[in-house]
Structure 1
């Protein structure tokens, strides 16, 4: 008798990175960490430019529209080389939009710098772990190290306790998302698609909505919670 899972199986593409030899997987994971770090640092550097002020709500609409467009591109081209090519072509527009968003958030006093602490911790782990790459180890050690760094920076800047907590929670949420999604991306990207994997780390913030739809379809198909 077939008993279906209560949640749908993860999305996979044929020949994905998780099927490669261990050392190739480690190399791929480290490459994604490095590329993502460079992209995030680039966004922060661009956000430091003297951009004109814009309404953050309008910028947010633009950011989510671009992320939604990138998600549609992946859905329509998943598993093909066209996926990565189109994603990399569209990504600069999202990158610039995020720079505007960070510029505005920093002007409003948000401790967006805490994300850099997390990114730096991820890079340090990837550079020092050697062959012993562990997703949990990366998350835990990066969280501890970056949390200490956030606390030290916040105290050096003389920030109020409420802002310190926002910085710590932002960093923790960011790290949890990036590490978890990086692990899942191993099944959705091939070993030569590190660039596409970096774009995935940006657009997958909308996965919570897509995953809800997948769960509903899965439950309806198998009569779990929802009658057929």
Structure 2
């Protein structure tokens, strides 16, 4: 048995995506501020490793706190996704900046991210693309979660039955069984209609018969 459904794997992949991109963005921003001439293949220091971890943590926290903003379906879902992307970016930069450099990073973390995205269009494209990917992955997870109660269009829910004799029958099972339904109807008649009590006809008599009976009485 699989450890997770397709929707749960999509949700985990969304968190992994924002964590990787957030870690990379944090490292790029802090490196450009502290050491712009740093060689690319230079070994990471302990502080630089913490910068990468802080970016990943901030992105995960921002996505977790976004709530229902990301992953909604339809045109309205994409409108909410825009605000969700802004929220994830702001909260992620706020948390990452606080972890990297408390107080100072808290104040300038979101501002540094904004300046980096405006100054480098390629970074902005990557940032927007990864947020759109996270939105698409979370939408798959939400659709799967909603399909538990509402089947997806074009995919009717299949009711699986068990052959075990210990399984209790549901009302739908009794309705599917014609013999059981007839037996239940007969038992209901015996229960609510005793044999020694005649059943009155509840149907109203025609108006013409009532008028004729009154004339005959006169």
Larger Rg: 2
TM over 0.5: no
Where is the helix percentage greater, Structure 1 or Structure 2? Answer: 1
Alignment TM-score, normalising by the size of structure 1: 0.29
Larger relative contact order (CA 8 Å, sep ≥ 6) = 1
